[in-house]
Amino acid sequence: MKCPFCSAGDSKVIDSRPTDEGTVIRRRRECLSCSKRFTTYEKIENVPMLVVKKDGRRETFDSNKILTGMLKACEKRPVPIKAIEDAVADIEKQLYNSLEQEVTSEYIGELVMESLKQLDQVAYVRFASVYRQFKDINTFMDELNKLLKEQ
């Protein structure tokens, strides 16, 4: 770390402690050339994730869109909001842990459907009917039959 006083390149860490609920590390340093002290902060770099839409457009990932879709699917169903929020957090964690900078909307949709299948089967079918754009009653019934076979 370059000293802000003399621009020397060597310093030593005197003290380190977490701040901002453990998301940032505050370090007190001492310059080995001029002996002056200064503070640096270390935090995780959040690389924005892009979502590749079906038409090829790219958008910045927004977990609120997943939450909105899941809330709509679970409307008037006995699913606690905490369970939905936990599912959204889990999906977001899976996406960021993949270390991909671009992810398809189809992949996100599949993750949402898997989560909804565990939370509430009616909500799952609601979401799937919009997401998969069921054309008629036969495709709807095919999805229901798949769900029944999995049980």
Q: What is the pLDDT of residues 69-109, one digit of tens each?
A: 999 999 999 999 999 999 999 999 999 888 889 999 999 99
Instruction: Give CB contacts under 8 A, 24+ apart, made by 121-125.
Output: 121/147, 122/77, 123/70, 123/73, 123/74, 123/77, 123/79, 124/73
Residue 45 pLDDT exceeds 80: no
**Token pair belonging to 52:** 């590749």
Nearest to 17 by CA among 27, 30, 2: 27
Whether residue 53 contacts residue 88, with contact meaning beta carbons closer than 8 Å, is answered with no
- Residue with more model confidence, 12 or 1: 12
State the DSSP H helix or E strand holding residue 6, giving kind and residue range, or none if neither.
none
pLDDT at 151: 73
pLDDT at 1: 83
- Residue with more model confidence, 59 or 22: 59
Q: Tell me the pTM.
A: 0.65
